[in-house]
Chains A and B, each alone.
Chain A
Amino acid sequence: MSLSLQEVEHIAQLARLDLSEAEKARYRLQLSAILDYVAQLQKLDTASIPPTASIFGAASPLRPDEPRPGLTRDELLKNAPEREAGQFKIPPVFGDGTPSAEE
């Protein structure tokens, strides 16, 4: 199957990747080849086969839900590119560039 350039652009937008025209062209060919390869799965009849939901089928070991010490605010903010008043600082969320609702 062959992906169109528009499809590559759509996937890149869903994945929040800003790509150059050269990257789009290259990924279009490479992803098309990979999708061709993985499409061989579609020839298997799996109508009666359940999907794998977990490795063991057993319940995960749980811990008691008790308060315990965690990382401090300073430790959590230490790697932030920008911070202010003990919080992560980001540029405006709304305005030009806001993704459209149709996604």
Chain B
Amino acid sequence: MSLATLSLTQASRLLQRGEISSRELTRAALDSIAAQNGRLNAFLFVDEPGALKQADAADESRKRKAAPSPLSGIPLAVKDVLTVAGMPCTCGSKILENYIPPFTATAVKKLQEAGMVVLGKTNTDEFAMGSSTENSAYGVTRNPWDLSRVPGGSSGGSAAAVAARMACAALGSDTGGSVRQPASFCGVTGLKPTYGRVSRYGLVAYGSSLDSVGAFGRSAQDVAAIFSAMQGSDPLDATAQNLPAGEISLEAPDNLQGVRIGVPKEYFIDGIQPAVEKKIREAIALFEQLGAEIIEISLPHTEYALPVYYLIAPAEASANLARFDGVRYGPRAEAETMWDVFTKTRGEKFGDEVQRRIMLGTYALSAGYYDAFYGQAQKVRTLIKRDFEQAFSLVDAIACPVAPTTAFPIGAHGDDPLAMYLEDVFTLPANLAGVPGLAFPVGFDENQLPVGMQLMGPHFAEAALLRLAHAYQQATEWHLAILPPL
């Protein structure tokens, strides 16, 4: 059995006992990538020599009893919207085709300082705009459970890498569901932290009031270890909150007595795949068996989250992506004047979805339309935030589906952007309210595709969500399911 099949938690234990070396573990991950990436396209860049060098350094420090953390020596994949100094950072776009950042994202840096081994960069929808990785300029990532289907997105490469045992853990970003939805589609555990809980320095900006850096692992335990190590304040990001760090204890209580879980009726709508609803209801019933109190709640403005998001995120994107103009980085289209360089470079190198969102945002912010579109969206966002504040005065966590369906076939949404946007209907509200969300597998549909449950909590309640998912994973084995041979 390859060491690549070890979870982060298992690998950490064996490394600490000296039963395996980081070099062996990293070699196994690299071999797994070499064997599978041709058909999955999860990685856009693999740094084999660099990874082995980091692994050797981790082994050496452990020998000296100087390992910086229990994560030391564990292989990590990084979504290609987070910078790692010296590695390409394409953001899945032709406009950053040859860009090699000179600095490392804080979240990555904290994990490197904890001793983790960065394997390389994973595929993403261009600038994280999409729900399937079909918008990557470097080809779609395939779902390891069914190669004819998408892995979800935009962090589809990271989710697929963890599901296919190419990395013990991976980083992603989540602006509207980009960690949680691919985690659900690929049957892994994925956390979108509270806005500001993890530094965004080095995350290429998409929607700055919504962006968060999240993590994938095979279990809540894996994700808790990564999250603890990467969260915290950062002098380079003024939104990164200064909260006590520390490891998250997942000591599962004997039962969940006293925990109140809310089930929002607006998340069980017409059009939800019946198998998804069934599995979510079963998981809720299990939480009840474990002792939690289940309370039906209402988040009355849920239906407006999607239109609010598709005004605010494109508006912020239109400003953030103004920096890609062919002057400081990336390829440049040839033209006689500066203005033509801008428009030609951006016209040629941005893909369709990015151009659509830039135009949508530009329109929503333009004179005469600002109040009706952007201004109104920011007000309705307040109503959505208030829904959550009200709900969390009644319950400790909210349980619902991650997405209305399981992984859909590649090409299913063709040329219909609005149909693709509807994939995010259950994940967008957490970004608008800034609350944390955790996705984890709770079973399979009729096609043997994973179904994911989402738990949301109040600001900074990541530990509580991880403990709930851990309690569920102690009682079930869905997170241990093995991929079918493909």
| B327–A88 touching, CB < 8 Å | yes
* B37 interface hit (Cβ, 8 Å): no
Restricting to B205-241, which residues have a CB under 8 Å from any CB of A?
209, 233, 235, 238-241
Which of B10-18, B73-81, B109-117, B377-385 is the contact stretch? Answer: B377-385
- Considering the complex, give the chain B residue whose CB is closest to the CB of A77: B328
Residues of chain B within 8 A (CB-CB) of A62 are: 238
Q: Residues 329-353 of chain B: 1 if any A CB is under 8 Å from the residue's CB, otherwise 0?
A: 1111001111111111011101010
Q: Report if B417 contacts A (CB, 8 A).
A: yes
Q: Which residue of A lies closest to B101 (CB)?
A: A79
Inter-subunit contact A16/B346 (CB<8 Å): yes
Known contacts A30-B356, A44-B304, A55-B195, A79 near B328 by CB under 8 Å: yes
Partner of B359, one of A31, A79, A88: A31
Residues of B close to A76: CB separation below 8 A: 102, 328
Report whether A50 and B102 are in contact in the complex, using a CB–CB cutoff of 8 Å: no
Q: Is A41 an interface residue (CB 8 A)?
A: yes
Contact B348 A61, beta carbon cutoff 8 Å: no
- Among residues of B, the one whose C-beta sits closest to the C-beta of A33 is B418
Assess whether A61 is in contact with B233, with CB atoms less than 8 Å apart.
yes
Given contacts A81-B330, A93-B337, contact A16 B359 (CB under 8 A): no
- A49's closest neighbor in chain B, by CB? B379
Cβ–Cβ < 8 Å partners of B381 in chain A: 51-52
Report the minimal beta-carbon distance from B356 to chain A, rounded to whole angstroms: 6
Return the chain A residue nearest B307 by Cβ.
A38
Q: Count A-side interface residues using an 8 Å CB cutoff.
A: 56
The answer to the question of A96 belonging to the interface, with a C-beta cut-off of 8 Å to chain B, is yes
A30 in contact with B417 given A18-B343, A52-B378, A55-B434 (CB within 8 Å): yes
A79 touches B342 (CB 8 A): no
Chain A hits for B328, CB < 8 A: 76, 79-80, 88
Contacting residues, chain A, for B98 (C-beta < 8 A)? 79
Asked if B2 is an interface residue, CB under 8 A from chain A, the answer is no
Contact indicator B341/A71 (Cβ below 8 Å): no
Interface residues of A (CB under 8 A from B): 8, 11-19, 23, 26-27, 30-31, 33-35, 37-42, 44, 46, 49-56, 60-63, 71, 75-76, 78-82, 88, 90-93, 95-99
Provide 12 A-B residue pairs closer than 8 Å at the C-beta atoms, listed in order of the A residue. Answer: A12-B359, A15-B318, A31-B356, A31-B360, A37-B418, A38-B307, A40-B304, A52-B379, A63-B235, A75-B102, A78-B102, A98-B337
B residues bordering A, Cβ < 8 Å?
98-103, 195-196, 209, 233, 235, 238-242, 304, 306-308, 310-311, 318, 322, 325-332, 335-344, 346-348, 350, 352, 355-356, 358-360, 362-363, 366, 372-373, 375-383, 385, 415, 417-418, 421, 432-434, 459
